[in-house]
């Protein structure tokens, strides 16, 4: 594990452009600039050497559990007497990290530090800002298994899920660095007007609030943070309470990359106190949030209220929940469909906004599909991910209580055909649970559960399946298994989701490949990992100069 940067390194002016960043400015188009980008490949833990290295990383991280970490405000480490802790969901008595319990005053100081840093950071050339992201990506590559191991301990991610999380964080850094140089250096297409020289330039907004979730605690946290930073906006990052330690590791990475003081501020504390103050602070220009519908809507409402001294309308990037469905048509390859539904529903314990929580199956194959699905999911047994289990615990007691409550609701809304066993004697473990014969308007078919609970719904035909799939307030991800080209085209037109997957699982979006974001109550459809995302953190300025 690398040592954090010194105080003088954190406060240093941006370094000269490195060779890697300079190379990436040579192409003249976005297409050329992205041509040398490719998502990171994943580790194969069936390889004995890779498995041994991951085991060593888990052991090394275990030796560091329970340490105390500071907050970071304007380059200064801040420690408080009042603490809060993140714990291992497989053993809640085991403390992973200890952090300050900040309050409104700390949120104010952090926002003010970000505002002060903005006056210098906004003038740093985009290529230099991008270079910090390239450096961060390289540091994450070097620390990849260690960072994955932190997520295994802190949020119960299986090895492959944790590894993919780090890979996505790396991808966000590499992709957004290239994308920023497109907005900074590629000419904005304008109609010619001979009497003038005309141009459009993109400017940063100012200080921003970053409020990420716990389920992708490095990937989403990194993506939200570095997108704002590379666009020229200093930020205050308030991590989820369940995932504070891995969020602090991002601060370490950016320290090592040499990011100047005040550009990334880090404050832990209750969301209802610290997060709310960040949202309402008059100096904050934008709020970037990923989490539940309830909290997202509250943020939208609070951010819409102009505060004394506030001179702008705050932008809100809110990525919220989903009630994602996979349609299995009568002509589908059942083996592929069963595997896709099982992995989408129960990967990372169903704790993904993209997880499949509804399987909508044509009546002609319903019984056979259900039989195979129960057989496949029945082989999944929750266990300790530190020891290599594919499925671990849900993240917290509150999550455990919520999911088990929905299981009880489901027993009155469908036929329990698998699972429902929950064990909190050592950790927050819940078996994969499947309900069959569920009415499309049942609560377990309409409300986001965010756990390993799947509702299987019978459809009369493809028309009925599409109608059921769209009959929800959400619109994040969806999938269709069919071999009929006409039905595929209909799904493209009629399945109302932000991310549609054909004959594959409905989770696992790749940066630069599957821009991610949903419709309706799934959020503002920001399309993270796509070419439009940075526009949320920039404002275009049109400049016209009369020719002599």
Catalytic residue annotation: 319, 353
CA dihedral defined by 120, 125, 129, 134, rounded to 10 degrees?
-160
Bridging pattern class, strands 433-436 and 477-481: unpaired
Which residues are CB-contacts of 263 (< 8 A; sequence separation ≥ 6)? Answer: 114, 117, 121, 229, 234, 235
SS3 assignment, position 430:
strand
Cβ-contact 151, 162 below 8 angstroms: yes
Tokens for 45? 């833990």
Question: Within 10 Å of residue 247's Cβ, how many Cβ atoms?
Answer: 28
Tell me the HSE value of 139 on the side-chain side, using a 13 A CA sphere. 23
Helical axes 159-185 vs 144-155, angle rounded to 10°: 120
DSSP 8-class letter at 16: P
Integer Cα distance of 39 and 214 in angstroms: 22
DSSP 392: -
* Angle at which helices 144-155 and 48-62 cross, to 10°: 60
Output the six-digit token pair for 297. Answer: 């809507």
> Which residues make Cβ contacts (< 8 Å) with residue 251, sequence separation at least 6?
72, 237, 264, 266
- What's the distance, Cα to Cα, between the start and end of the chain in Å? 60
């Amino acid at each position: 594990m690398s040592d954090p940067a010194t105080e003088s390194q954190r406060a240093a002016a941006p370094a000269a452009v490195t060779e890697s960043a300079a190379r990436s400015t040579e192409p003249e188009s976005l297409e050329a600039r992205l041509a040398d980008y490719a998502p990171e490949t994943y580790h194969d833990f069936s390889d004995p050497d890779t498995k041994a290295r991951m085991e060593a990383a888990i052991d090394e991280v275990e030796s560091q559990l329970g340490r105390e970490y500071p907050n970071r405000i304007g380059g200064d480490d801040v420690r408080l007497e009042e603490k809060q802790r993140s714990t291992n969901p497989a053993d809640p008595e085991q403390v992973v990290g200890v952090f300050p319990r900040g309050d409104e005053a700390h949120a104010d100081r952090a926002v003010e530090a970000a505002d002060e840093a903005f006056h210098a950071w906004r003038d740093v050339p985009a290529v230099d800002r991008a270079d910090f992201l390239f450096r961060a990506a390289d540091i994450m590559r070097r620390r990849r298994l260690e960072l994955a191991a932190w997520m295994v301990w802190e949020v119960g991610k299986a090895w492959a899920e944790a590894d993919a999380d780090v890979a996505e964080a790396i991808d966000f850094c590499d992709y957004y660095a290239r994308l920023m140089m497109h907005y900074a250096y590629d000419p904005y297409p304008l109609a010619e007007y001979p009497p003038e020289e005309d141009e459009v330039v993109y400017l940063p907004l100012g200080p921003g609030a970053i409020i990420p979730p716990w389920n992708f605690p490095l990937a989403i946290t990194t993506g939200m943070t570095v997108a704002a930073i590379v666009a020229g906006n200093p930020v205050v990052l308030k991590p989820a309470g369940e995932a504070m330690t891995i969020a602090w590791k991002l601060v370490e990475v950016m320290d090592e990359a040499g990011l100047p003081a005040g550009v990334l501020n880090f404050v832990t504390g209750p969301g209802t106190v610290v997060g709310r103050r960040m949202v309402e602070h008059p100096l904050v220009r934008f709020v970037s949030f990923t989490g539940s519908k309830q909290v997202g809507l509250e943020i939208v409402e609070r951010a819409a209220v102009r505060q004394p001294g506030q001179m702008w309308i705050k932008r809100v990037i809110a990525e919220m929940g989903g009630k994602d469905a996979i349609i299995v048509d009568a002509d589908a390859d059942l083996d592929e469909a069963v595997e896709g539904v099982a992995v989408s529903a129960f990967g990372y314990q169903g704790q993904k906004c993209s997880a499949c929580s509804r399987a909508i199956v044509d009546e002609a194959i319903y019984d056979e599909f259900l039989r195979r699905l129960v057989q496949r999911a029945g082989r999944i047994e929750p266990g300790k991910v530190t020891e290599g289990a594919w499925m671990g615990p849900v993240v917290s007691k509150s999550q455990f209580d919520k999911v088990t409550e929905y299981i009880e609701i489901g027993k009155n809304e469908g036929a329990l055909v698998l699972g429902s066993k929950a064990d909190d004697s050592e950790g927050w473990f819940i078996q994969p649970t499947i309900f069959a014969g569920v009415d499309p308007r049942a609560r377990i078919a309409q409300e986001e559960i965010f756990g390993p609970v799947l509702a299987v719904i019978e459809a009369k035909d493809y028309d009925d399946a599409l109608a059921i799939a769209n009959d929800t307030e959400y619109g994040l991800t969806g999938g269709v298994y069919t071999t009929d080209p006409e039905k595929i085209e209909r799904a493209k037109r009629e399945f109302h989701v932000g991310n549609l997957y054909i004959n594959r699982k409905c989770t696992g979006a790749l940066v630069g490949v599957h821009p991610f974001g949903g419709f309706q109550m799934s959020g503002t459809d920001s399309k993270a990992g796509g070419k439009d995302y940075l526009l949320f953190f920039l404002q275009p300025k049109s400049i016209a100069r009369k020719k002599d």
